[in-house]
Amino acid sequence: MQPLATPSHSPVKIILATAFVVACWGYSPTGIHIGLQAYDPGHLALLRFLVASAFMAMVALVKGITLPNLRDLPLLFGLGFFAVSLHHVAINFGQQGVSAGASSVLAQTTPLFSTLLARFVFKDRVSTWRWGCVFLGLIGVVIVVAGDRGVGSIDAHGLLILLAAVSWSFYFALQKHHSGRYDGLTLVCYTVWSGTVLLLVYLPGLVAQVVSAPMHVQWAVVALGVFPSALAYLAWAFVLAHVDLSRATMTLYLVPPTAMAMASFALGERPTVMIVVGAMVVLVSVLALNLERRWVVIRVAGV
């Protein structure tokens, strides 16, 4: 009798990789706030992804990736525009007037906007349950934005964070429809590189800001480029290769509380009761949306 084969990757490695992803993406709002102390939003986005591009180039040299097909260049630049350029410029401008904790909650609304995108762009059928989830999530968004700076001070900054979430929705839609053409690492590399090329419009004046920025800001930006923008995506790809997508995405609900804890420690932020309540409403709505999709899969499978 032959011994049972042992799995190639232990549960401990998967848990550690998941925790690493949550920590990296939880750090991002705090890193952005520190970076904005010395950089303009556009310059911060460009420098962050110059670092990420260089890091991904080293990974690509070690691992090896396929060359892109010329006919796929519009798609790759579209992915780079929505995942990198528009998303990060919008979130950087938005975080000039939104706390790191509130920003992390608003960024989790991407599934809600994906539902709206599916209905109004791709003409998919949307159930009453999903409409209810979207409505509940938008109520949570209003509570978070109002609780962050007060009802009387609501401005466009929160809307820019939501625009970043919408941008991610377009990115996921494009990736879903075309992911079969390239493996995960190749697609991430070309997305990061094409998005960085589009951010080169912010190159004028960047060197002057790099020279004058304090060292603690420089390290924060380097950390943004290496961890949330590069290593986290590689770790997430590892998790998705060994865990069901619906189960893996549930762990992303830990990102906002992690971001709030990091912002409290590094920036001295104290989330208000309204932000906490709004965060719970948003996360419950997104959780309910994902649960509906899981129930549909179970019914189709006849379980």
**pLDDT computed for residue 246 by the predictor:** 59
51 or 105, greater pLDDT = 51
Listed range (8-12, 83-87, 148-152) with the worst mean pLDDT: 148-152
**pLDDT computed for residue 182 by the predictor:** 82
**pLDDT computed for residue 270 by the predictor:** 85
Give CA separation, 235 vs 66, 203, 227, in Å.
Answer: 20, 30, 10
In which band, very low, low, confident or very high, does the pLDDT at 11 lie, cut at 50, 70 and 90? confident
C-alpha 303/C-alpha 295 separation (Å) is: 10
Count of other CB atoms within 10 angstroms of residue 110 = 23
**pLDDT computed for residue 35 by the predictor:** 97
Give CA separation, 151 vs 115, 139, 142, 146, in Å.
Answer: 27, 14, 9, 5
CA 130 to chain centre: 22
Is 120's pLDDT higher than 80? Answer: no
Is 6's pLDDT higher than 70? Answer: no
Asked if 176 and 117 touch (Cβ cutoff 8 Å), the reply is no
25 or 156, greater pLDDT = 25
Is 154's pLDDT higher than 80? Answer: no
- The predicted-structure confidence for 121-130, as pLDDT tens digits, reads as follows 666 777 888 8
Look-up: residue for tokens 């996360």? 283
Is 184's pLDDT higher than 60? Answer: yes
- The predicted-structure confidence for 84-111, as pLDDT tens digits, reads as follows 999 999 999 999 988 888 898 888 887 7
Domains of the chain: which residue ranges?
11-301
Of 163, 208, 270, 266, the C-alpha closest to 47 is: 208
**pLDDT computed for residue 153 by the predictor:** 54
Question: Percent of the chain scored above 90 by pLDDT?
Answer: 39
Is 287's pLDDT higher than 70? Answer: yes
**pLDDT computed for residue 66 by the predictor:** 87
> Which whole number is the average pLDDT over 263-290?
86
> Which whole number is the average pLDDT over 264-290?
86
Quote the tokens at residue 88.
């990060």
C-alpha 254/C-alpha 286 separation (Å) is: 13
**pLDDT computed for residue 117 by the predictor:** 77
Instruction: For residue 272, give the DSSP letter.
Output: -
